[in-house]
Structure 1
Amino acid sequence: MEILRVLGRPATSDSVVDQILVSVGTAIVEGRLRPGDDLNSVELARTFRSSRTPVREALLTLEREGLVEIAAHRRPRVRGLLLGEVREIYELRATLYGLVSRRIVEKAADSDIEVLRTCQREMDRAADAGDVDRYFWLTVGLRNNEAVIAGNATVGRVLDGVGVRTLQLRHLGLSPPGRLRTSAADHARLLRAYEERDAGLASALSETIVRRGLLAVESVGWTGDRSPRTSP
């Protein structure tokens, strides 16, 4: 599970804390919990048949990652990034993924490109089916594979540092009508640039993909405060 990976926790863990992290974190990322929504510790403890201690630990972890805010004498609630913060994060991601794509062209073996082709085929199928959640998690997997192929551990750590906070936004950015097909077509062009070993084009396309994601977030009226739901 991507949320556990970014948090540096074992993907195979079955602890109550990690179960809560995955459940609450995924609900925030996929938009079932929205900025401003309360997180009831008592209800979470009842749902997971635990004491409130693992609930508290999980929520504190999500607070450190910027998904939850915990104030004195108030229930924890889902935190929303302000639009200015969102733009700053996307500017950073665009620059870093441009670097990642350039390094892929320089370093990738044919077998690495085939991994990316497999990801692209799955993304195309999800886009054709209109499955936003599946398409989203496939793009997350694609970006993870790209970071590994690029082989720059420092860049990977920086991307992970903003990773969980951006997942919520990246999912939202795929929700406008027609967005899945546009995104899939953009990624297909990026794959061709990798195949043709065109570093400049790959870098520019990768940055464009990220910036189009930001435009999509802005188009649905994200404010960081109870951002609206949209239909796929």
Structure 2
Amino acid sequence: MNARSDGKPAVRPFGTEPSAGHLEIMRVLGRSERATSVVDQILVSVGTAIVESRLHPGDDLNSVELARMFQSSRTPVREALLTLEREGLVEINAHRRPRVRRLSLDEVRDIYELRSTLYALVSRRIVENATESELGTLRDLQHRLEQAADAGDVDRYFWLNVDFRNYEASIAGNRTVRRVLDGVGVRTLQLRHLSLSLPGRLGASVADHERLLRAYEDRDADLASALTQTLVRRGLAAIETSGWTGRGDS
């Protein structure tokens, strides 16, 4: 398992103060926010490290090192990594160490196509259903996105962006759509973080969110639907033009 360039470990136990990333991964995986078990601690910490690109596609996941870090046996490590394998973040093959899974570009495109279609529906439902108070909450989130973009804080912007999208889904009120979006799992988070970390993406993203929010406030369902699809597709285009291959060599 690699350390970051600043010498800090890629995987960090979070103790009693889980980050926004830890909380979101626990939510998507259906885990308690308390995350008291060693298995939860390991899977959330490793999952967050993958999403935030502290671990990269192809990186080995050393079970002995993880067991030492979390002061556990290797059994909870295996259980946590098996959960992450089911979510599409980890590869486990016989006779070799588990490693961070490499996504193909075709798989990335499929995921973004699904998100584009579903969020178009979400945006229409927001125009139809959102109260002024709910739109005010989205406006508050937009202000915080602007602050994070101005500061160039990719991680903070990313998790605020996740909050924005999650709140949109809750306003839309379509539980089936919400379940499908969550079902895509943490693979989506990994890709979204990657896209936003590319040069120039924070400024473009915050401007796109501002246009989308104005469409909500104007109650323009057609425009909101088109804008949210454009927003998602631009994220995909950023990945495609970056030279990313899913092999950790971009």
Per the TM superposition, whether the score is higher than 0.5 is: yes
Q: Would you say the 8 A contact 1:102–1:200 is kept in 2?
A: yes
Distance in 2 of aligned mates of 1:54 and 1:118: 40
Find the counterpart in structure 2 of residue 212 from structure 1.
234
Find the counterpart in structure 1 of residue 155 from structure 2.
133
Distance in 2 of aligned mates of 1:158 and 1:136: 21
Q: Report the residue type matching 2:147 in the other structure.
A: R
Alpha-carbon displacement from aligned partner over 1:60-92 (angstroms, at most 9, x marks no partner): 000000000100111000002100010011001
Find the counterpart in structure 1 of residue 145 from structure 2.
123
Find the counterpart in structure 2 of residue 56 from structure 1.
78
CA shift in 2, pair 1:139/1:227, >3 Å: farther
Offset at residue 219 of structure 1 (A): 2.1
What TM-score, normalized by structure 1, do the two folds share?
0.96
Distance in 2 of aligned mates of 1:163 and 1:98: 19
Find the counterpart in structure 2 of residue 199 from structure 1.
221
Find the counterpart in structure 2 of residue 186 from structure 1.
208
Find the counterpart in structure 2 of residue 86 from structure 1.
108
Find the counterpart in structure 1 of residue 66 from structure 2.
44
% identical equivalent positions? 75
Q: Map residues 19-38 of structure 1 onto 2, 5 A cutoff.
A: 19-38=41-60
**SS in structure 1 at match of 2:196:** coil
Offset at residue 186 of structure 1 (A): 0.2
Runs of 4+ displaced beyond 2 Å: none
Offset at residue 4 of structure 1 (A): 0.8
Offset at residue 176 of structure 1 (A): 1.9
Paired residue total: 228
Find the counterpart in structure 2 of residue 76 from structure 1.
98
Offset at residue 53 of structure 1 (A): 1.1
Alpha-carbon displacement from aligned partner over 1:97-117 (angstroms, at most 9, x marks no partner): 000000000011111101111
Q: Report the residue type matching 1:108 in the other structure.
A: A
Find the counterpart in structure 2 of residue 155 from structure 1.
177
Distance in 2 of aligned mates of 1:132 and 1:89: 22
Distance in 1 of aligned mates of 2:191 and 2:100: 13
Corresponding position: 1:102 with 2:124: yes
CA shift in 2, pair 1:227/1:170, >3 Å: farther
Q: Would you say the 8 A contact 1:97–1:203 is kept in 2?
A: yes
Corresponding position: 1:16 with 2:38: yes
Distance in 1 of aligned mates of 2:189 and 2:173: 22
Distance in 1 of aligned mates of 2:220 and 2:33: 35
Offset at residue 14 of structure 1 (A): 2.2
Offset at residue 19 of structure 1 (A): 1.2
Q: Report the residue type matching 1:22 in the other structure.
A: V
Find the counterpart in structure 1 of residue 10 from structure 2.
none
Find the counterpart in structure 1 of residue 243 from structure 2.
221
Q: CA RMSD in A?
A: 0.8
What TM-score, normalized by structure 2, do the two folds share?
0.89
CA shift in 2, pair 1:146/1:227, >3 Å: farther
Offset at residue 227 of structure 1 (A): 4.2
Distance in 1 of aligned mates of 2:90 and 2:227: 33
Alpha-carbon displacement from aligned partner over 1:188-215 (angstroms, at most 9, x marks no partner): 0000001011001001000010000001
